[in-house]
Amino acid sequence: MTKYFFITGTDTNIGKTIATCALLQAAIRADYRAVGYKPVASGCALTPDGPRNRDALVLMRSSNVDVSYNQVNPYPLRAPTAPHIASHDEGKSIDSNILSAGLLALGSIANWVVVEGTGGWLTPLGLQYNYSDWVIMERLPVILVVGVKLGCINHALLTASAVRQAGLNLIGWIANYPTTNSYRAQDYVMALEQRLDTHLLGVIPWIQNAIDAPLSNYLNLSVLEKPYGVSESCCL
């Protein structure tokens, strides 16, 4: 059975892509056929092949399944802003059916699919439609990435509460250090270990050019490999 996970974060630019790469690398080391999925990506650069998003390209490099760019990122949006604004500017609407079809297609060729969200849990994809609405529809188990910095305790607890109120399984969290000097960072991690009531899957230190670094050793996949780490209703 294919395992699916949705990666959300306490904010933007806090390390979701780094954590997603770490999960993919660790899964590959555990002999899974692993692929990343970044269905909606803002801030794409125009290339001869069309708009391309750096994070989506990084996920492709961290996967061991041969996929096309459009399979990983069906909605590449040019403006570096919220997806509902960027898609409106381009005259596009983000269709949840396309997101689901892409997820199902990747699940048919891989047995470990890691979906990286955009921004935080309630990022809008349309006027009255949030990213979380699609995750709820697919019943995906959620992994929370916490950027360890001032304010992260409140942001993490609010996000965890929202995920659980939606009836989803918050299966674990990953602490990522987004800067070289995070004041009292260890205290923040300890406080969250005491309060989040879910598994700490790993702590990723600040690493220069982390998206190109080996990251699998920072995570423990044992929790995710258990049957309850998979949403049985996903993609059915």
Residues 228-231: contacts with CB under 8 Å, at least 24 apart: 228/169, 228/171, 229/3, 229/5, 229/141, 229/169, 229/171, 230/1, 230/2, 230/3, 230/4, 230/141, 231/4, 231/138, 231/139, 231/140, 231/141, 231/169
Residues 40, 51, 235, CA angle at the centre, nearest 5°? 30
Q: Any binding-site annotation on 18?
A: yes
Q: Any binding-site annotation on 134?
A: no
Q: Any binding-site annotation on 15?
A: yes
Q: Any binding-site annotation on 42?
A: yes
Helix (H) or strand (E) segment spanning residue 76: strand 75-76
Q: Any binding-site annotation on 149?
A: no
CB contact set of 119 (below 8 Å; sequence gap of 6+): 9, 11, 12, 82, 83, 131
Q: Any binding-site annotation on 13?
A: yes
Q: Any binding-site annotation on 80?
A: no
Q: Any binding-site annotation on 198?
A: no
Q: Any binding-site annotation on 232?
A: no
CA–CA dist 123, 143 (Å, integer): 16
Count H helices and E strands in the chain, helices first: 8, 12
Active site residues: 38
Q: Any binding-site annotation on 151?
A: no
Annotated binding site for Mg(2+): 17, 55, 116
Annotated binding site: 13-18, 42, 55, 116-119, 205-207
Annotated binding site for substrate: 42
Annotated binding site for ATP: 13-18, 55, 116-119, 205-207
